[in-house]
Structure 1
Amino acid sequence: MRMGAVMRKVVCLLAWLSVGQVSGSYLPQDMNRTLQDLLQHYKISKSDIYDGKHVFPKEELKGKMESQMLFMGGVLEAYDKLFGHMLKGLPTPSPLSATSGDKADTSGPSTTEPSAAGDTRFNLIKVLQKIRELKRHSYQEQLKVLHGLQKLKHIEMDNIKVQGKALWELPWIYEKANSLADNVMRRRRRRRRQTRTGLAREPERRAKGQQ
């Protein structure tokens, strides 16, 4: 998929996030306004917005909380990279405009006024900072796991040395995998027992409250 198409779909999702806000949501008002400004620059048709195809599928956010957090960490990492590509897609600020103030007065695409392109760069950076703050404060552990998974993609599967070392490492990895699975199962059973115990004691608590 070409970067332009990816950007259009990302903007679709930004539109969905900013338009479909719920009262009391976590999206700050200034960030919402910034996204609206960006949507004016990265304008796409309504048919693209409402084509039912999201860049990041919602189905991945309906599982267990740990899985949702891990997936969301990947989504934020993807946004970080995409915003970097979007910034690179804007013309480089001229030396004069780069030193004229904290809003970089860059020249935009041929159909955009220079000041508008400068605002676009400023707004992209502003939203990117918000994304990075959220990653840093709430998704450090998930990003460590994701970076570890990315390293697995680079294993040389056809390398005889790698194959041999992997065989030597398999016993402790197999033991660890089983141990982790058992711990998760025990935790689930413990939670179920606690839930059943709480439900069983509820009539007793109610009776004491009525006395």
Structure 2
Amino acid sequence: MDEFVFVSGRLCLDLAGTKLWRRSLRTELLGSPSDVRRWVGQAELLDDPGAMDTRGLERVRRLREAIYTLVGSWPPGDGAGAELGEALAEVNDAARLPLPRHQLDESGRLTRTGGVDEVLGAVARDAVDLLSSAQFAKTKECANPDCTRLFVDLSRSGARRWCGMAECGNKHKAASYRKRKKQEAVLETGA
């Protein structure tokens, strides 16, 4: 069962999205080392993430929070705070880690191997790439006031508002529809 969603358009933003509703319910999707293993598998970073311990869990969470901080405050201005400096150091340190090892076997099947260092390296390099690219200007936060998921708007019109239709877009559309129907009913009974 896929429990994580990958709607952000970037691996680093999908990791940042593993903590939901940051302004209200603060839902943690990476509550245990096994959650990280499942996220890594569903993100298709490694075929077998191997053993994951609480230290690895904390390292992944630290990188996730650093990415979220940087994306929300980028580019840094004069007098950028200590939090931004720490987040930048966290991402840069992780970006120096090795990447997952990709190999093809004789049948053409891809295998991806590595551990927590390689996962951190891949996600951090994606964050560095995003923050240093023109694509960063297309990064948005979901228009649902409760949702804090970030995404890159790659739509032709540049008018994407929702992190994903299943998560927030359909809920908003359904609520708008119910509101319109209720208003129409009030107008009909009041006429």
TM over 0.5: no
> Higher helix share goes to which structure?
1
TM range (shorter): under 0.3
TM-score w.r.t. structure 1 length? 0.22
TM-score w.r.t. structure 2 length? 0.24
Task: Pick 1 or 2: higher relative contact order, CA cutoff 8 A, min separation 6.
Answer: 2
> Higher strand share goes to which structure?
2
Greater Cα radius of gyration, structure 1 or 2: 1
